[in-house]
Amino acid sequence: MLFTLACFSFLYITYYKRKRVLGWVLFTFVLNLWFLQQPTHDRDWVDYQEKLPLVTINENHIHIQNVRHDLRYLTDGKLEWLHESYNLNQLNEVHFALVTFTEWQGLAHLFLSFNFNDEKFLSISGEIRREKDENYSPFKGLFRNYEKMIVLGTEKDLIGLRIFQHKDPVNFYPLNMSNDNSKALLLSLLKDCQSIQQSPRFYNTLTQNCATLIKNHLEKVYQEKHPFDLRLIFPGFADEIGVDHKLIKTNNSIDQMRKSFLINDLAETHLSGNAWSLKIRQLSFTLREN
């Protein structure tokens, strides 16, 4: 609404030259109101984003309330909020999930998934926090229309939803990271969850999206800054950035790599227990052995 008023006042300035002062006053007033907006946790949220994750870190032991486990894409599935504990010393692998929405590669969503000794799995995704009856628009995402949240969920939730309900292609890449850096990345993300829980934050299509979340925390881990990459605006090309920085290892072309790490067929053959999470990693194991 405020953005619409700002556009109206700007047009008023442009087309009614004799009343420019009034137009500028209106434009400045609306712009100030826009900047005075504050993010909040107090809105009528959709049920699957109603609860923020509550993270407690005690040395190498992590406890998380509200790990999302939404399996309503299955006939007998339901939405659950789990309380889970993780041992940081058991973290042995990080995967990077890339979900494309259209035939054009650029429109996509990214998130990370952490493997704790093939026994527990935690997915972490930066998203808008959606209000009821609210739809996502990249354009609206530029103008303080959405709060940001970090979803902590099971793989069957974050990956399964995209494959079984949305029918989107999912590439699942193992990241080439040391154990120490993998742990540092997870801790950095979890501390960011704590920060958002304490201080709400706006989402921004360019600077606070799913891709920049991962980029910013990787820069903290490796203690180095990289110039802004236009491919971060179109996250479907983020796997190319991973290859450039040797976080994703491949001897194939980008197109061949994407085909190699597409997990939809594997995911659809098995959906019981932790075996499913191991099954979707089967490509990683096979490709590493070769």
243 neighbors 257 (Cβ within 8 angstroms): yes
Model confidence pLDDT, tens digit, residues 81-102:
999 999 999 999 999 999 999 8
For residue 20, is pLDDT > 90?
Answer: no
Given a cut of 50, is residue 110 above it in pLDDT?
Answer: yes
User: b/e map of 258-282 (b: 16 or more CB within 10 Å)?
Assistant: beebbbbebbeeeeeeeebbebbbe
pLDDT of residue 29: 52
Domain boundaries, the chain: 2-36, 47-289
**Closest among 98, 97, 82, 91 to 114, alpha carbons compared:** 91
Q: How far apart are the first and last CA of the chain?
A: 56
Of 177, 205, 204, 174, nearest to 97 by C-alpha is 174
The 10s digit of each residue's pLDDT in 59-71 is 999 999 999 999 9
pLDDT in tens, 177-235: 999 999 999 999 999 999 999 999 999 999 999 999 999 999 999 999 988 888 999 99
**Residue holding tokens 């979707």?**
280
Give the per-residue pLDDT at 142: 87
Question: Alpha helix locations (H) across the chain?
Answer: 2-15, 20-36, 155-160, 179-198, 210-222, 238-244, 254-260, 264-267, 275-279, 282-289
Residue 290's pLDDT band, with cuts at 50, 70 and 90, is very low
pLDDT reported for residue 289: 44
The amino acid at residue 142 is L
Listed residue (84, 88, 83, 64) closest to 197, CA to CA? 64
**Could you tell me which of 217, 153, 207, 208 has the C-alpha nearest to residue 187?**
217
Helix H or strand E segment including 81: strand 79-87
Instruction: Tell me whether residue 220 is exposed, middle or buried, using C-beta atoms within 10 angstroms of its C-beta: 0 to 12, 13 to 18, 19 or more.
Output: middle
Whole-number Å distance between alpha carbons of 48 and 131: 10
∠ CA 251-254-255, nearest 5°, is 115
Q: What is the pLDDT of residues 113-129, one digit of tens each?
A: 999 999 999 999 999 99
Least confident of 24-33, 46-55, 68-77: 24-33
pLDDT band at 27 (very low <50, low <70, confident <90, very high): low
Question: What percent of the chain has a predicted confidence (pLDDT) above 70?
Answer: 83
